[in-house]
Amino acid sequence: MTATDLSVLWEAVIMIALPFCVVAAGAFLRRRFARPAAGAEGAAVEPGSRKAARVAGQLLFWGGIFAIVFTFIVFLNFKGIL
Protein backbone atom coordinates (compact mmCIF):
# COMPACT_ATOMS: atom_id res chain seq x y z
CA MET A 1 0.00 0.00 0.00
CA THR A 2 1.46 3.33 -1.08
CA ALA A 3 1.14 6.81 0.41
CA THR A 4 -1.28 7.66 -2.39
CA ASP A 5 -3.47 4.71 -1.43
CA LEU A 6 -3.48 5.82 2.18
CA SER A 7 -4.42 9.39 1.32
CA VAL A 8 -7.25 8.24 -0.94
CA LEU A 9 -8.45 5.80 1.70
CA TRP A 10 -8.30 8.47 4.40
CA GLU A 11 -10.25 10.87 2.22
CA ALA A 12 -12.93 8.24 1.55
CA VAL A 13 -13.23 7.40 5.24
CA ILE A 14 -13.65 11.07 6.14
CA MET A 15 -16.29 11.56 3.46
CA ILE A 16 -18.24 8.49 4.55
CA ALA A 17 -17.92 9.46 8.21
CA LEU A 18 -19.04 13.05 7.69
CA PRO A 19 -22.81 12.54 8.11
CA PHE A 20 -22.23 10.23 11.07
CA CYS A 21 -20.11 12.93 12.76
CA VAL A 22 -23.01 15.34 12.35
CA VAL A 23 -25.35 12.80 13.96
CA ALA A 24 -22.88 12.18 16.79
CA ALA A 25 -22.46 15.93 17.42
CA GLY A 26 -26.24 16.32 17.51
CA ALA A 27 -26.60 13.40 19.93
CA PHE A 28 -23.96 14.90 22.19
CA LEU A 29 -25.66 18.30 22.31
CA ARG A 30 -29.06 16.71 22.94
CA ARG A 31 -27.66 14.78 25.90
CA ARG A 32 -25.44 17.54 27.26
CA PHE A 33 -28.25 20.10 27.23
CA ALA A 34 -31.18 17.77 27.87
CA ARG A 35 -34.39 19.32 29.19
CA PRO A 36 -34.33 19.13 33.01
CA ALA A 37 -36.90 16.82 34.51
CA ALA A 38 -40.05 18.60 35.73
CA GLY A 39 -39.60 19.70 39.34
CA ALA A 40 -35.84 19.41 39.20
CA GLU A 41 -33.70 22.27 40.44
CA GLY A 42 -33.52 25.10 37.89
CA ALA A 43 -36.11 23.52 35.58
CA ALA A 44 -38.28 26.61 35.60
CA VAL A 45 -35.45 29.05 34.84
CA GLU A 46 -33.58 27.25 32.08
CA PRO A 47 -31.34 29.77 30.25
CA GLY A 48 -31.93 30.47 26.56
CA SER A 49 -28.45 29.35 25.61
CA ARG A 50 -29.21 25.83 26.85
CA LYS A 51 -32.41 25.76 24.84
CA ALA A 52 -30.57 26.98 21.74
CA ALA A 53 -27.88 24.30 22.15
CA ARG A 54 -30.58 21.66 22.52
CA VAL A 55 -32.36 22.85 19.37
CA ALA A 56 -29.03 22.85 17.47
CA GLY A 57 -28.50 19.29 18.71
CA GLN A 58 -31.92 18.25 17.44
CA LEU A 59 -31.22 19.83 14.04
CA LEU A 60 -27.84 18.17 13.68
CA PHE A 61 -29.10 14.81 14.89
CA TRP A 62 -32.17 14.58 12.68
CA GLY A 63 -30.52 16.44 9.79
CA GLY A 64 -27.67 13.94 9.84
CA ILE A 65 -30.02 10.99 9.87
CA PHE A 66 -32.00 12.54 7.06
CA ALA A 67 -28.76 13.04 5.12
CA ILE A 68 -27.75 9.39 5.52
CA VAL A 69 -31.18 8.12 4.52
CA PHE A 70 -31.39 10.60 1.65
CA THR A 71 -27.98 9.58 0.32
CA PHE A 72 -29.05 5.98 0.52
CA ILE A 73 -32.27 6.69 -1.35
CA VAL A 74 -30.43 8.64 -4.06
CA PHE A 75 -27.93 5.81 -4.37
CA LEU A 76 -30.67 3.20 -4.72
CA ASN A 77 -32.48 5.48 -7.14
CA PHE A 78 -29.29 5.83 -9.16
CA LYS A 79 -28.79 2.06 -9.19
CA GLY A 80 -32.34 1.63 -10.43
CA ILE A 81 -33.51 -0.24 -7.33
CA LEU A 82 -35.77 2.50 -6.03
Tell me which residues touch other proteins (CB under 8 A).
Answer: 2, 4-5, 8-9, 11-12, 15-16, 18-19, 27, 31, 63, 65, 67-82
- CB-nearer residue toward other proteins: 43 or 73: 73
Least separation in angstroms between CB 70 and other proteins: 7
Least separation in angstroms between CB 69 and other proteins: 7
69: nearest Cα among 10, 20, 24: 20
Q: How many CB atoms lie within 10 A of CB 27?
A: 14
Say how far apart CA 5 and CA 31 lie, in whole Å: 38
- CB-nearer residue toward other proteins: 6 or 43: 6
Helix, strand, or coil here: 31?
A: helix
Least separation in angstroms between CB 47 and other proteins: 24
Sign of CA dihedral 6, 12, 14, 17: negative
